Structure 1
Amino acid sequence: MASDFFKKGISPEVYACDLRYQMKASDKFIDLDRVCDYLGIELMEDDLGDKGIVSGCLIKEGNSAAVLVNEHIAYHGKKRFTIGHEIGHFCIPWHVKTEYECRTADLEAFKSDKEEEFEANLFASELLFPTKAAVEILKKKEVSMHLTKIVADEYGLSLCAAARKLVEKTEYDTCAIVLSQNSTCLWRIRSPKFLKRGLDMRSRGIVLPSIVWEGKTKGYPANWIIGDRVSNIAHVWEEHIDFSKLNMVLSLISVPDNSFNEIDEFEEDEY
């Protein structure tokens, strides 16, 4: 990640929070048409190519601005994330180019190595699903695919965006989310507790299990996890959502807390 990310020391998420505050928006679903009206942005759908390479564009000219979202995007949540991303380019002060053409790959990866695309993703995630709301939800419910679907419906998110935010913000669950295509890992996000316990997921380009079970099932840890402590884990819980038209699978991998009880107690005694 480039050293000059978050110029002026302010995260793009702060600008998303400030926009919600200015609009007196609650922590619930936000109407992006209303946001664009508030900012003076013309929002329209356009044919940006049916191959899905480009998801959206921001065009600025003088005091005018327009967001174009690809009319070929089939999923409502993905379309909303694209609009939020382009609004991010408009609102983040150091995003000064007059035109942004944003590739689907940079939006879907969530962790683009192009710094302005990465920053616009952070803005969009916070605008659509505030961290404050995620934290409150996670105080009451554990991360699951069932919860992911509820959040995605409630906030108008893609399942990937909802799962990512829940996994990133949970303080309680040792879990990770993985998106794979043709059984090969595209990206993975790990919860803070997952990282704290010295575990890592198999990463980009690594082949993953090809069998996708419905519901919550026991899985073999070494299929997913690497690290010194894998041998201490009897099993993991797997939950999957199959995007069959895209040959993609979204997988939630959760490690039972009792896998670590003896190890954690030993470490506490040691110190």
Structure 2
Amino acid sequence: MLNFEPRLSPEMYARQLSCKLNLTYSVDAEEVVKELGLLYREKDLGKSSGYDGCLVRKNNKAAVIINANIAYKTRRNFTIAHELGHYLIKGHNKNIYNCAGKDIEGSFSGKGHESEANQFAVELLFPSQHAKSILKRNPLNMDLAKEMAARYGTSLTSTLIRLVKQNDIDCCAVILSEGSKVKWSITSTRFRRCYEVAPGYLSQDTYAYDFFIGKSIPQESQNVRPGSWISGDGVYDLSYIIEESVPFANLGIVATLLTIPQDEDDYDNVDL
């Protein structure tokens, strides 16, 4: 049994596990589960309305069970790491964790068990220092997020969050929408100095909104009216912002990456 220091953050649990097991990247979460002596199973847990993963404790043993219907290898890998977080993080003491797709794609902030398991998973698979190094060499866009998700075996949503939160260069934000409303948003340091994401229902001028009225979303980045997504003192100096939205039709959610173009970003002219 692994011993961890008390009162660690979810990210620190992941870092200590990586150190103890001498993990190299990219990480195969299934192999980590087996190395820790947990049972691993894949079962039919349902499709769009079923669970993506479960952690089951019984008779001093534990098992990670993953939905065999998960189509994408990266989503599967992240789900396994998520369940491993439930197993290792102090205070996650329930005998059964049944985790739906929306728990794993949509819960990344706060102190709830699902959010903490996601925070553990993304640090285990895609460490913050790796993200910082990548961002020094590459501007953030959806193509980069997809490439990193494939490289590190992380879900697209978790990869976007990692790249935005660790971003000291780009003025950007990631937003999750559900039921045509903003569920949550996470912004880079530069973004929140001047702007904020408008809460509540999506503007009809956004491409993310189109998904909720049955329209398709363009795969390419799109220029949109700044006020359709953001507010703040700097918004009136912008002529456009860039929206890249990806729908998860089976979950009824949309992940959006917003970027303020460098030639539009008024950050350097703001009196701080």
Q: Would you call these one fold, judging by a TM-score over 0.5?
A: yes
**Residue aligning to 1:141:** 138
Unaligned 5+ residue runs, structure 1?
A: 1-6
Give the TM-score taking structure 2 as reference length.
0.84
What do residues 189-238 of structure 1 show as CA deviations (whole Å, max 9, x unaligned)?
211221122x1112354345245444233221011102232112121122
Residues 101-158 of structure 1 deviation map (CA, whole Å, 9 limit, x = unaligned):
2233222212366612211111011111111111110111111111111101111222
Q: Structure 2 vs 1, CA of residues 112 and 57 (structure 1 numbering), >3 Å: closer, same or farther?
A: farther
Q: Give the distance between the partners of 2:218 and 2:83, measured in 1 at CA.
A: 36
Taking a change above 3 Å as real, the CA distance of residues 205 and 150 of structure 1, as seen in their structure-2 partners, is same
Instruction: State the distance in 1 between where 2:112 and 2:103 align.
Output: 10
Aligned position for 1:201? 197
- Paired with 1:79 and 1:207, the residues of 2 have a C-alpha distance of 33
Match of 1:267 among 227, 251, 271: 271
- Does the Cα contact within 8 Å between 1:221 and 1:235 map onto a contact in 2? yes
TM-score where L is the length of structure 1: 0.85
Letter paired with 1:168: K
Shift of 1:247: 5.8
- Partner of residue 3, structure 1: none
Residue 192 (structure 1) aligns with: 189
Question: 1:69-88 counterparts in 2 under 5 A?
Answer: 69-88=66-85
1:255 aligns with 2:252: no
Alpha-carbon separation, structure 2, partners of 1:151 and 1:266: 32
Contact 2:182/2:199 (CA < 8 Å) preserved in 1?
A: yes
The residue type equivalent to 2:61 in the other structure is S
State how many pairs are aligned.
259
1:29 and 2:33 correspond: no
1:228 to 224, 230, 233: 233
In 1: Cα distance, 2:61 partner to 2:252 partner: 40
Q: Is the 8 A contact 1:46 1:68 kept in 2?
A: yes
**Does the CA-based 8 Å contact 1:174-1:255 persist in structure 2?**
yes
Larger mean Cα displacement after TM superposition, 233-242 or 84-93:
233-242
C-alpha RMSD of the superposition:
2.5
Relative to structure 1, is the Cα distance of residues 12 and 181 closer, same or farther in structure 2, using a 3 angstrom cutoff? closer
**1:219 equivalent among 208, 211, 224:** 224
Q: 1:186–1:205: 8 Å Cα contact kept in structure 2?
A: no
**Which of 4, 21, 36 is the matching residue for 1:39?**
36
Matches within 5 A, 1:163-182: 163-181=160-178
The 1:203–1:20 alpha-carbon spacing in structure 2 relative to 1, beyond 3 Å, is: same
Structure 2 spans left out of the alignment, 5+ residues: 211-216
**Structure 1 residues 87-113: Cα deviation after superposition (integer angstroms, max 9, x where no partner):** 001111222222222233222212366
Q: Cα offset for 1:72?
A: 2.4
